[in-house]
């Protein structure tokens, strides 16, 4: 559905960083590093390692579908094997029907990724711990799709109002020109920016293929029927709600969707008049001070960076949990003018079917590029010894500590025979001179508690 050839001048290889991409038979490729980038349902797949990332997503999405199958079977078993009140039976039957339809809908939506080519079993995924991190799951931002294209008009209007506010208050006003939206999610904000502000071409990038495939269908005029599963339903009929996803109008040919990694962006330097980062800067793994340099590299001289969303930095390094004042300072230190800022309290994820929902104090800014910043190093999410598998695995101190712990845990597991108690196991650990009895008993109890909790969670998947 995308008109890919109209954006070739904006693209560069995310693998070797600067080589322009060429388009042949609806596929982009890099002449320098000989990398081909597939198209998924008409959306360019512009990850630095396209085949590897596609394989990883295929396996992860396949696991999510199998999890839905597993959950559906559990509900069916509960209905068959247990006595329930009429109200409980009504709720479970609704969830069973919705789960089955939802699984079938997802299979159809995800057909361009060919998830059926994965043959791994549900149990093997659990054994290998291939469940996605919390920010990379199939359903991580699934609720946002319903907010964007079903019930969220008030939230969507409040969001675009913040963008318009800081744009109008900064140099350039609503003339955004060639615009890039990084971390576009369900794409409603990018869609509204394109329609309501003075953009030339708008490119919306995200890493989640489910969100992008749904958005692509909706913005091109297809109404979709999908279930919403509220976290805290207000009544029985809202445990699963079939929604119609609909765009107010069909988008034009100057709006483009891309799949890729915002930390390895597939764009030529100095290509954009505007870069928008909605709900992004505080959730990425990269230090904001480095990410700000990446934004600088993407902008033309005088181009604008517009940011919108929360500032809930939750980095394990406390010095990177930046305050608003630190964010403004970092922006200025990376080649931008003093930002125009705006704060407003807006509704966030207030589904009419859920008791959950909140007001969010969002922080928006717009800053113009005054000079080039130092080019940041290429982002590598993992070290080479993990990516290639050819280099020696380093003997990190944490690995040595974990190795000792694993040996003790393996020994504890070997002692479980259905007869020994925790006290019996503690005595054996003391005899093996691994721990004193006083140390071993609470350690064993804590370990087995975690194992028990994990088994309970897995049984509920």
Q: Is residue 217 part of a domain?
A: yes
pLDDT score, position 140: 77
Q: Is residue 409 part of a domain?
A: yes
Q: Is residue 281 part of a domain?
A: yes
Q: Is residue 255 part of a domain?
A: yes
pLDDT score, position 125: 40
Tokens 């690995």 sit on residue: 399
What HEC string does the chain produce?
Answer: CCCHHHHHHHEECCCCCCCEEEEECCEEEECCCCCEECEECCEEECCCCHHHHHHHHHHHHHHHHHHHHHHHHHHHHHHHHCCCCHHHHHHHHHHHHHHHHHHHHHHHHCHHHCHHHCCCCHHHHHHHCCCCCCCCCCCCCHHHHHHHHHHCHHHHHHHHHHHHHHHHHCCCCCEEEEEEEECCCCCHHHHHHHHHCEEEEEEEEECCHHHHHHHHHHHCCCCEEEEECCCCECCHHHCCEEEEECCCCCCCCCEEEEECCCCCCCECCCCEEEEEEECCCCCCCCCHHHHHHHHHHHEEEEEEEEEECCCCCCCCCHHHCCCHHHHHHHHHHCCECCCEEEEEEEEECCCCCECCCEEEEEEEEEEEECCCCCCCCCCCCCCHHHHCCCCCCCCCHHHHHHHHHHHHHHHHHHHCCCCCCHHHHHHHHHHCCCCCHHHHHHHHHHHHHHHHHHHHHHHCC
Could you tell me if 284 and 187 lie in one domain? Answer: yes
In this predicted structure, the answer to whether residue 288 has a pLDDT above a threshold of 60 is yes
Could you tell me if 343 and 432 lie in one domain? Answer: no
Q: Is residue 137 part of a domain?
A: no
In this predicted structure, the answer to whether residue 42 has a pLDDT above a threshold of 80 is yes
Could you tell me if 152 and 203 lie in one domain? Answer: yes
Could you tell me if 107 and 186 lie in one domain? Answer: no
pLDDT score, position 126: 40
User: What is the C-alpha separation between 239 and 241, in angstroms, rounded?
Assistant: 7
* Structure confidence by residue, pLDDT tens digits, 233-276: 999 999 999 999 999 999 999 999 999 999 999 999 999 999 99
What is the β-pairing status of strands 255-259 and 272-278? unpaired
Tokens 């930002």 sit on residue: 339
Query: pTM (2 decimals)?
Result: 0.85
The least confident of 64-68, 141-145, 389-393 is 389-393
Judge contact between 37 and 50, C-beta under 8 A: yes
Which range of residues forms the domain containing residue 421?
405-459
Domain end, chosen from 72, 105, 128, is at 128
Local confidence band at 17 (pLDDT 50, 70, 90 cut-offs): confident
Domain end, chosen from 15, 31, 50, is at 50
Could you tell me if 256 and 359 lie in one domain? Answer: yes
Could you tell me if 156 and 292 lie in one domain? Answer: yes
Could you tell me if 359 and 414 lie in one domain? Answer: no
pLDDT score, position 460: 56
Half-sphere exposure of 205 (CA within 13 A, CB side): 23
* Structure confidence by residue, pLDDT tens digits, 140-165: 789 999 999 999 999 999 999 999 99
Could you tell me if 321 and 301 lie in one domain? Answer: yes
Residues 6 or more apart whose Cβ sits within 8 Å of residue 246: 149, 150, 218, 223
Q: Is residue 455 part of a domain?
A: yes
* Structure confidence by residue, pLDDT tens digits, 296-318: 999 999 999 999 999 999 888 89
Q: Is residue 133 part of a domain?
A: no
End-to-end CA distance of the chain: 35
Could you tell me if 343 and 421 lie in one domain? Answer: no
Could you tell me if 152 and 112 lie in one domain? Answer: no
Could you tell me if 66 and 120 lie in one domain? Answer: yes
User: What is the C-alpha separation between 208 and 64, in angstroms, rounded?
Assistant: 13
Domain end, chosen from 72, 101, 128, is at 128
pLDDT score, position 279: 97
**Arithmetic mean of pLDDT over the chain:** 89
What is the count of structural domains for the chain? 4
Could you tell me if 322 and 431 lie in one domain? Answer: no
pLDDT score, position 127: 40
Q: Is residue 398 part of a domain?
A: no
User: What is the C-alpha separation between 127 and 362, in angstroms, rounded?
Assistant: 40
């Amino acid at each position: 559905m995308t008109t890919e050839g109209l954006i070739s001048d904006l693209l560069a290889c995310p693998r070797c960083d600067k080589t322009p991409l060429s388009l042949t038979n609806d596929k982009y490729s890099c002449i320098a590093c000989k990398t081909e980038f597939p198209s998924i349902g008409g959306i360019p797949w512009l990850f630095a390692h396209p085949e590897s990332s596609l394989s990883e997503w295929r396996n992860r999405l396949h696991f999510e579908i199998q999890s839905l199958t597993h959950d559906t079977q559990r509900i069916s078993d509960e209905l068959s094997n247990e006595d329930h009140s009429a109200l409980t039976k009504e709720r479970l039957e609704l969830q069973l029907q919705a789960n089955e339809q939802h699984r079938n809908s997802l299979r159809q939506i995800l057909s361009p990724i060919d998830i059926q080519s994965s043959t791994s079993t549900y149990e093997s995924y659990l054994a290998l711990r291939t469940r996605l991190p919390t920010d990379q799951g199939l359903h991580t931002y699934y609720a946002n799709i319903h907010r964007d294209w079903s019930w969220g008009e008030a939230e969507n209007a409040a969001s675009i109002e913040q963008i318009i506010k800081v744009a109008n208050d900064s140099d350039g006003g609503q003339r955004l020109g060639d615009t890039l939206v990084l971390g576009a999610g369900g794409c409603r904000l990018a869609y509204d920016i394109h329609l309501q502000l003075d953009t030339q071409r708008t490119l919306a990038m995200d890493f989640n293929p489910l969100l992008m495939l749904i958005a692509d269908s909706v913005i091109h005029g297809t109404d979709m029927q999908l279930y919403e599963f509220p976290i805290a339903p207000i009544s029985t009929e809202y445990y699963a709600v079939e929604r119609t996803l609909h765009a107010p109008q069909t988008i034009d040919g100057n709006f483009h969707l891309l799949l890729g990694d915002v930390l390895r962006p597939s764009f030529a330097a100095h290509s954009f008049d505007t870069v928008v980062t909605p709900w992004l800067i505080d959730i990425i793994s990269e230090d904001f001070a480095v990410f700000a340099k990446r934004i600088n590299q993407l902008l033309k001289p005088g181009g604008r960076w517009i940011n919108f969303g929360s500032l809930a930095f939750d980095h394990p390094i406390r010095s990177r949990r930046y305050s608003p004042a630190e964010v403004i300072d970092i922006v200025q230190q990376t080649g931008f003018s003093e930002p125009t800022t705006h704060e407003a309290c807006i509704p966030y994820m207030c589904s009419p079917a859920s008791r959950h929902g909140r007001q969010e104090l969002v922080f928006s800014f717009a800053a113009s590029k005054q000079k080039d910043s130092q080019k940041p190093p290429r982002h590598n999410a993992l070290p080479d010894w993990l990516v290639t598998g050819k280099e020696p695995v380093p003997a990190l101190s944490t690995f040595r500590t974990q190795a000792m712990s694993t040996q003790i845990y393996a020994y504890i597991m070997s002692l479980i025979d259905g007869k020994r108690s925790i006290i019996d196991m503690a005595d054996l650990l003391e005899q093996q001179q691994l721990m004193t009895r006083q140390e071993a008993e609470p350690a064993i109890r804590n370990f087995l508690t975690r194992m028990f909790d994990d088994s309970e969670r897995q049984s509920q998947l």
